[in-house]
Amino acid sequence: MNSIATAIPAATTTDAPELTPRERETLRHIASGRTYLQAARHMGLSQHTVDTYLRRIRAKLHVHTTAELTRLAIALGL
């Protein structure tokens, strides 16, 4: 098994391409330690929109915590 497969569940690695470019960007900002508000400001969006993107990411990839999101972002090279 490669390191990505061991870092996140197999189902998650196959679902990763389903993320939109804005969802990937949002994930990158949150994984780098930014708050929802900071990510929103960097992306020129409202905090509510960032929250929506993160809810979609969590639903698509079946992750529930920021730590899991961060681990996923690292595994995806974001």
pLDDT at 56: 95
Tens of pLDDT along the chain (78 residues)? 444 444 445 444 454 558 999 999 999 999 999 999 999 999 999 999 999 999 999 999 899 998 998 898 888 888
Structural domain count of the chain: 1
pLDDT at 28: 93
pLDDT at 17: 55
Give Cβ neighbours of residue 20 (< 8 Å, ≥ 6 apart): none
Q: pTM score, two decimals?
A: 0.73
Range of 22's domain? Answer: 3-75
Contact in structure between 69 and 7 (CB atoms under 8 Å)? no
